[in-house]
């Protein structure tokens, strides 16, 4: 017995469950509340000013003992390892302020 493939080109069986009244209600809802949705949306794009978001990703290979120690320190400080690493790197950057200043002199600006 040969099986034939079903063809849904002419009619879609799912359409029998969708009524026109439901479709009309959906369009009414969308037109009534469209203005409200646009006024409550958050602004898109980069934030204005100097506020930064944590949006850059960096993959690192670390020694297991370093990771274990970072996890212990983060647990004692009640923070995440990610926040601890950000704090440590910010401290390092502030210690290297003269190196950053020399970079600005040599290369004429920062690249972001």
Interval 1-27: pLDDT, tens: 677 777 767 676 677 677 665 445 555
58 in a structural domain: no
What's the number of domains the chain is made of?
1
pLDDT digits (tens, 9 = 90+) for 34-52: 444 455 566 666 556 667 7
Q: Give the chain's mean pLDDT.
A: 77
pTM, entire model = 0.49
Rounded-to-integer distance, Cα 97 and Cα 103, Å:
10
How many other C-beta atoms lie within 10 A of the C-beta of residue 25? 11
Interior angle at CA 77, CA 75 and CA 81, nearest 5: 55
Q: Write out the residue range of the structural domain in which residue 82 sits.
A: 64-107
3 in a structural domain: no
Entry field: residues in the chain: 112
98 in a structural domain: yes
74 in a structural domain: yes
7 in a structural domain: no
């Amino acid at each position: 017995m040969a099986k034939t493939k079903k063809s849904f080109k002419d009619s879609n069986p799912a359409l029998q469950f969708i009524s026109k009244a439901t479709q009309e209600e959906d369009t009414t809802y969308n037109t009534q509340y469209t203005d409200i949705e646009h006024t409550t949306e958050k602004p898109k794009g980069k934030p204005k000013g100097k506020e930064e978001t944590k949006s850059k990703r960096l993959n690192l290979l670390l020694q297991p003992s370093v990771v274990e120690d970072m996890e212990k320190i983060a647990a004692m400080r009640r923070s995440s390892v990610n926040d601890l690493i950000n704090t440590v790197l910010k401290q390092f950057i502030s210690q290297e302020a003269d190196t950053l200043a020399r970079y600005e002199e040599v290369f004429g600006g920062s690249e972001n």
